[in-house]
Structure 1
Amino acid sequence: MTFEALEISPWLIEALKNVGIKTPTSIQETAIPLVMAGKDVIGQAPTGTGKTYAFLLPTLSKIDMSSDRIQLLILTPTRELAQQIFENVNQLIKDTTLKAAAIYGGVETQKQVKKIDSGATILVATPGRLIDLMRQGILDVTEIPFLVIDEADQMLLLGFKDELDFLLKTLKLRKQTLCFSATMDKAVKKLAYKHLTDPVEIKSKDEEVHLSLDQKLIQTTDRWKTVALIEQLRTTNPYMGVIFCRTIRRVEKVAGELIREGFDVKPIHGDLSQNVRLRTMKAFKEGVFQYLITTDLAARGLDISHVTHIYNLDLPETVETYIHRLGRTGRMGAEGCVISIVTDKDSEQIKVLEAHLGYSLELVKFERPEDHVDRTHEK
């Protein structure tokens, strides 16, 4: 299958060539013809399968390029993801007359509104900031024809259900709605079927992400988890890796320990300023340092093709979050490795995870080095 066969606009095919994308992924092959045919779509597609282009390519193909009104609204749960999608859009439209704008918290509203007023036809937004501007009378979205809800499961997890209901009721004149989610639980389906018109359900095979990954569990005790992580970092020594912790406090603590051990690592989390987070993300994308240590929320929108290894110092609380973490490596069919440091307390969670995945994960017992001096608990 080729992009030409999917009948997207010729200018988009040229734009794809310029960013090095030659052939569509499975989810793109499935979604694009449906969207081009005007269908509402509910798509289950894990991060890393090419789902962003699965909704961008057909919706951008349908935009009236002679109009300076907003025609496409893309809703995302976090500002990091909004920034990433905004970047993807700009890569595609840079040689056209189309303009895009992004609105999200943490940035001066006036600057964002100025971009919209300059004739933006594509708007990427987080629900909170969007509704704020609507209630102030600054922004009218009632006549936007195309709506995309990205990472709907995370949108609901973060408590945006009421905001989504409000927005979906407000966009009364929309012609088409697309809802994409890495996981598809009852809450996501209920939301979608309530507001979409005769939607077509599509699903990208999970195998595209997680079956191609080398996944293993390293069993140890709470006391030795950081030491086990350090051994894995030294053994694997990837080109680029992301380390996940459950809390901001743990991110900061472990980052300090890794730096003392000589690792090239930087933290990113919600307590850091927007400017610091953006600079850190930019530097990581450019390969300035080897490891990013982060929380799940701060990593939303992390789209870095060269990440080869994911390290879970803490298993996530839900299977859905684990799947989202998987999507940070092995992107677009590339190889990747996921290493989770676990203890006996994680046994039930591992059973649930394996039941969802449909296979057992390799379990390796961590052998404590006899000559290692444990300094991770020193004050």
Structure 2
Amino acid sequence: MQTFQDFGFNKTLTSALDAINFSEPTPIQAQTIPLALAGHDILGSAQTGTGKTAAFALPVLQKLIENDTASALILTPTRELGKQIMDNIHQFLGKGSGIRTAFIIGGESYGKQMAQLRARPRIIVGTPGRINDHINRGSLDFDMTRYVVLDETDRMLDMGFTDQLERIFKQIPEDRQTLMFSATMPKNILDMSRKYLKSPKRIEVGGSNVIADNLVQDIMRVPEEQKYDELVIELAARYGTKIIFVKTKFATERMAKRLRADGYAAEAIHGDLKQAKRSRVIKDFRAQKFDILVATDVVARGLDVPHVEHVINYNLPQVAEDYIHRIGRTARAGAKGHALCFISPQEGRQWHAIMQLLDPDAKPDPRFAGFSGKNNKSKRRGGGKGYGKGQAKGQAKGQGKGKGHRPTDKTASHYSKTPSNNNPRNDNNANDSQTKKQAQTKAHNKPARGKATSRHTDDLNGANYAAAAAKPKKVKSSGPRRAKSGVNTGVKKFDPDQPLSRQPSKKHSGKPVRKHTNAKNKPNISKPGSRKFNNSNAPRPRKKA
């Protein structure tokens, strides 16, 4: 049986490993550590919760102890994963190692990070975005960097860090050792490995896209509007700490507040929280001060909380690979765990993508026939658009429950292309007398404006109604009236020979009133003696004695 003593680690590392009860390496550690100590680049993949952090951290620390001038850079996609890696490194180093570290992530003050960088750390753990910020500021120097680690590389690419990673690698010397780890190995990861790794050793433990054997999965087909009621029932039946994954940041806060109102101890975590609050929430969750954590995919990777027993997917992830990372928060390090998925009809395509990822040869589940197939489309009405306040809900259900304007005839025709016999709009053979009677009743019930005259009454009764209804309505012009050549529109124009009182107003004239300008560009049409008269050459009236 292989132990950590067989790797020939420094006494500092072996004593620290003994203090934290690290005796036997996991399969990924047993295969990675010897190759990394030999100086090979590594492309590794394994299931979540199998000890990838120790697989790359221990050989890097051994290299730094042997080389006093070298430094290492470890990149992670999220702050939570970076914090966990930094804590593990401090455990492995123990006290009195003399190796300084720096934690460079977004959400923390630059002053604190600049102080860490001025201390010339030999291990830097950070996220690509903030590392690039310090590169632009000139506060980071990678001349002595000889070891680079990329953890959860597929997640970094999914988050759009491709350009940032390229700029970072341009600053690092070519004479380096690179270790790249990921739970999944899509095509873009393999392309990236060919670009930045030199003859890497491929390590795969347990296969990619594989779920742990000690994980029990439950699946429920639930309409979207009934999910919360089912969630409350499941929470009452399940004991232990739980993580509930939802789709949006706003949904985390809303659900946590609703659960607290129903008597549950719940907290929310998402990317918009300040780093101090995110750290506090994770710390309290580890200490079991509350038992329900409502989260987005920000904690789907790297969060290692051993006592998590249940993972509930309230909403399915948008990316199929994230499903594996979500349920990987439980059943870690050999412990048992449970995963529950609520699947609504609108999430049929996402569930089918997840099933294809887990088992490409799997047949559609008959329990979800009707919305798990590839060619299936969710039922929609009204073109998938809502009206009024129900528009957001209507995007998934069609018309929705909005209180705004009613659907137009064009929208209504989307429901049925054949005219209905019960709809008077589509009945071309409706009785004219019945139509006349309905119009008379409508006019009788409609209050008239002002005093009704006899002509007004006659037009809405008898035979005159048909002529009045057939008469086309006048349509107001949307733009100003403009005179055509040779046509008298009746619009009066400004006449300079007429006094001001006879000139047309701007409202009724076809063009604005033409102004006689002086040196100050003001109209000079006032009578002498008035305050607006500004002709300095005109005689002023004499004051009476």
The two structures have a TM-score, normalised by structure 1, of 0.90
* Structure of larger gyration radius: 2
Among 208, 216, 219, the alignment partner of 1:217 is 219
Distance 1:174 1:133 in 2: 22
Specify the SS of the correspondent of 1:297: helix
Letter in 1 for 2:143: T
- Residue identity over aligned pairs, in percent, reads 37
CA deviation map 1:306-355 (0-9, x unaligned) = 11111110111122101111221111121111111112333333233223
The 8 Å contact of residues 89 and 100 in structure 1, kept in 2 or not, is answered as no
The aligned residue for residue 72 of structure 1 is 72
Question: In 1, Cα distance between the equivalents of 2:5 and 2:327?
Answer: 31
Aligned length: 363
User: 1:208 offset after TM fit, Å?
Assistant: 7.6
Match of 2:396 in 1: none
Q: Secondary structure at the match of 2:216?
A: strand
1:93 corresponds in structure 2 to 93
Q: Distance in 2 between matches of 1:31 and 1:338?
A: 30
Q: How does 1:113-192 map to 2 (within 5 A)?
A: 113-192=114-193
Helix, strand or coil at the partner of 2:6: coil
| Cα-to-partner distance string for 1:157-181 (whole Å, 9 max, x where unaligned) | 1111011112122212442000111
Corresponding position of 1:257: 258
Q: In the alignment, is the contact (CA less than 8 A) between 1:70 and 1:122 conserved in 2?
A: no
Of 86-95 and 179-188, more deviation after overlay is shown by 86-95
Partner SS, residue 145 of structure 1: strand
How far apart are residue 17 of structure 1 and its match?
A: 2.3
8 A contact 1:219–1:363 mirrored in 2: no
Rounded Cα–Cα distance in structure 1 between residues aligned with 2:20 and 2:231: 35
Q: State the 1:251 CA deviation.
A: 1.1
Shift of 1:117: 2.4
Q: Secondary structure at the match of 1:223?
A: helix
CA contact (8 A) 2:210 2:358 kept: no
Structure 1 CA distance, aligned partners of 2:279 and 2:152?
A: 21
Match of 2:382 in 1: none
Shift of 1:66: 6.9
Distance 1:362 1:100, change over 3 A: farther
Name which of structure 1's ranges 84-93 and 200-209 shifts more when overlaid on structure 2. 200-209
- Tell me the alpha carbon deviations over residues 257-314 of structure 1, each in whole angstroms, 9 at most, x when there is no partner: 2112211111111222222111111111111111111100255442211111111101
- 3-state DSSP of counterpart to 2:54: helix
Q: How does 1:257-276 map to 2 (within 5 A)?
A: 257-276=258-277
CA RMSD of aligned residues (A): 2.2
* Secondary structure in structure 2 of the residue aligned to 1:153: helix
Residue 363 of structure 1 and its aligned partner are, at CA, apart by 9.4
Residues 46 and 205, structure 2, Cα contact 8 Å, conserved in 1: yes
User: Are the counterparts in 2 of residues 216 and 364 from structure 1 also a CA contact under 8 Å?
Assistant: no
- Return closer, same or farther for 1:226/1:66 CA change in 2, 3 Å cut-off: same
Distance 1:20 1:341 in 2: 39
| Number of the residue aligned with 2:304 | 303
**Closer, same or farther in 2 for the Cα pair 1:361/1:9, shift >3 Å?**
farther
- C-alpha spacing 1:11/1:355, structure 2 compared with 1 (3 Å): same
Q: C-alpha distance in 1, partners of 2:101/2:184?
A: 28
User: How far 1:19 sits from its partner (Å)?
Assistant: 2.0
Q: Is the 8 A contact 1:142 1:173 kept in 2?
A: no
Q: 1:222-371 alignment to 2 at 5 Å? A: 222-238=224-240, 240-358=241-359
Q: Which amino acid aligns with 1:254?
A: M
Distance 1:93 1:215 in 2: 38
Q: Deviations over 1:229-276 (max 9, x none)?
A: 1111111122x1111001012112211221122111111112222221
Tell whether the 8 Å contact from 1:55 to 1:148 is kept in structure 2 after alignment.
yes
CA distance, structure 1, for counterparts of residue 231 and residue 365 of structure 2: 16
Partner of 1:376: none
2:220 is paired with a residue whose SS is: strand
TM-score when scaled to structure 2?
0.63
Taking the aligned partners of 2:289 and 2:363, their CA distance within structure 1 comes to 36
Matched-pair contact (CA < 8 Å) for 1:258–1:265: yes
Deviation at 1:362, TM superposition (A): 9.1
The separation in 2 between residues aligned to 1:32 and 1:322, in whole angstroms, is 29
Moved more, 85-94 or 17-26: 17-26
C-alpha distance in 1, partners of 2:284/2:295?
Answer: 15
Question: Any idea what the Cα deviations from partners look like across 1:354-375, whole Å, max 9, x if unmatched?
Answer: 232236899989xxxxxxxxxx
Question: Which whole-Å CA distance do the structure 2 matches of 1:76 and 1:274 have between them?
Answer: 16
The CA distance in 2 between the partners of 1:204 and 1:344, in whole Å, is: 35
Structure 1 regions of 5+ residues with no counterpart?
366-379
Question: Once the 2 structures are TM-superposed, how far is the Cα of residue 190 of structure 1 from its aligned partner?
Answer: 0.7
Q: 1: CA distance between counterparts of 2:235 and 2:22?
A: 31
Tell me the CA shift for residue 21 of structure 1.
Answer: 2.5
Contact kept, 8 Å, 2:5 with 2:14, in 1: the verdict is yes
Letter in 2 for 1:189: L
- Structure 2: state its 5+ residue gaps: 369-545
The one-letter code of the counterpart of 1:141 is F
